[in-house]
Chain A
Amino acid sequence: MSPTDAPDQREPAQHEPGRREPRVTTVLSARNLAKAFGSNVVLRDIDLDIRRGQVVALIGPSGSGKTTVLRSLNGLEVPDAGTVTFAGSAASAGPGLAIDFSAKVGKKDIAALRDRSAMVFQHYNLFPHMTVLKNIIEGPVQVQKRPRAEAIEEAERLLARVGLADKRDSYPFELSGGQQQRVGIVRALALKPQLLLFDEPTSALDPELVGEVLGVIKELAEEGWTMVIVTHELAFAQHVADEVIFMDGGVVVERGPAAEVLRAPRQERTKLFVKRLQHDV
């Protein structure tokens, strides 16, 4: 995929004195996200900072709150408190966005969140009554009001990119799980979001189909897309993620560079979790 696919992902090559890396920019900041269902606290004091082009893996046992964090970034869950801030981006000339969940959150706020991020679901959630192509262009044409011809061209290019050019007129039920998930990824990409969110993208797949989906995600990472991935694939997380965040019981237990957290965890709970999962594999 050419860099134009990820319009907001890369900073112009800007070399600061004494540093060889391009300047890093924060795409998203979340502060003190909290949520409870009745007396059951699912999130407490969650902070996140995601830089442009960064890949963050959220790991943890089920019920740890990692999926809730991810869904909050797309407005599929609304936290009770905390803030989410999206940086304005030069490329899309869009203004920044700041949402305070302690105040009343309106439809416009949620819509603005969804404008900036796109979600890939565990169970793909493709629209079964639409062909692959229609699934992909639905958002660009119906919501973003982009010209249909342009959206189709873009969809075909993205489909070819994930090896599914010949499936454009198929219905989802005609595809394997791995193919459906690749369409799910293309549907998210077609929205040109600033941030891609993956909710256990390979958990519903047969083992032999996991590789093809992880391969696509890895390539997106290399192209500079900014991504948050909830996953149980620790080897993959270590390979692709810049930062790993381990959650348990609704709080962040440990965070840091992928290799550190996964190879040499400091916290007891992280050690246990990593050990157990590696044994399972």
Chain B
Amino acid sequence: MNWDLVWSSFGPIIGGAITGTIPLTLVSFAFGILLALVVALMRLSPNPVITGVARFYVSVIRGTPLLVQLFVIFYGLPSIGVKLDPWPSAIIAFSLNVGGYAAEIIRAAILSVPKGQWEAGHTIGMSRPQTLLRVILPQAARVSVPPLSNTFISLVKDTSLASLILVTELFRNAQQIAAFSQEFMILYLQAALVYWVICLVLSTGQSVLEKRLDRYVAH
């Protein structure tokens, strides 16, 4: 076993996580959730055109591979004159992807809040947006944390696909060292280990958050 290689490779791999994987995940997830909230509200609109647009979007995102979505944006768009760098391409693709999946989660969470909560908001004089913001979404958040955490953890791993559109992140760094040293087994296992550790940390964070949001519910 080439221990020198193992130790010297952790630097670039963890570096790739810090400068690539983690920021890519955070930024894409943030945009994705915002997009998902908008799409979820569109899905709940009484206007059939608006719900139709939202359904179409969700259907396309969930019905096509993420890798294909990435390639369409990075390699496909230039042929119609839209040239994007690897980073913006990756952020757009991942945000759109998270938006599609999380929209359904948020929609279900909003629907899970009893109708009486809307009425209670209205009777104290709140408008619909006010009730949504102050009464409904805080309760929907509690319901949607477990499934959204899964989306988040999946996203961490999915960002490895960005290596295929030349984004310098964890996996791309591991690939390059592997190609150079021909130690594929070692390098790919190292990459796997770092992903795993990141996900372990996130799972712990998820439990803490769930406990916090559960403080107003009977056990």
Contacts and interface: CB of A to CB of B under 8 A. Distances in A.
A76 B125 CA distance: 11
B2 interface: no
Contacts of B85: none
A179 to B, nearest CB: 14
Interface in B102-154: 114, 116-117, 119-120, 122-127, 130, 134-135, 138-139, 142
Contacts, number: 64
Contact of B124 (A75, A123, A138): A138
Given A138-B134, A173-B216, A125 B124 contact: no
A173 B126 contact: no
A129 B125 contact: no
B141 to A, nearest CB: 9
Contacts of B1: none
Interface string A50-89: 0000000000000000000000001110000000000000
A220 B170 CA distance: 67
B218 interface: yes
Contacts of A174: 218
Contact of B123 (A74, A107, A129): A74
B82 interface: no
Contacts of B116: 121, 123, 125
Contact of A128 (B119, B122, B139): B139
Interface string B180-217: 00000000000000000000000000000000000111
Majority SS of interface residues in chain B? helix
Nearest to B126: A143
Contact of B218 (A74, A111, A114, A173): A173
A114 B134 contact: no
Interface residues of A, number: 29
A174 B120 CA distance: 19
B216 A114 contact: no
A118 B122 contact: no
A191 B119 CA distance: 15
Contact of A114 (B114, B122, B135, B142): B122
Interface of A: 74-76, 107, 111, 114-115, 118-119, 121, 123, 125-130, 138-139, 142-144, 171-174, 187-188, 191
Which 8 residue pairs are nearest across A and B when measured between Cβ atoms? A139-B124, A143-B125, A125-B120, A125-B116, A119-B123, A173-B218, A171-B216, A129-B138
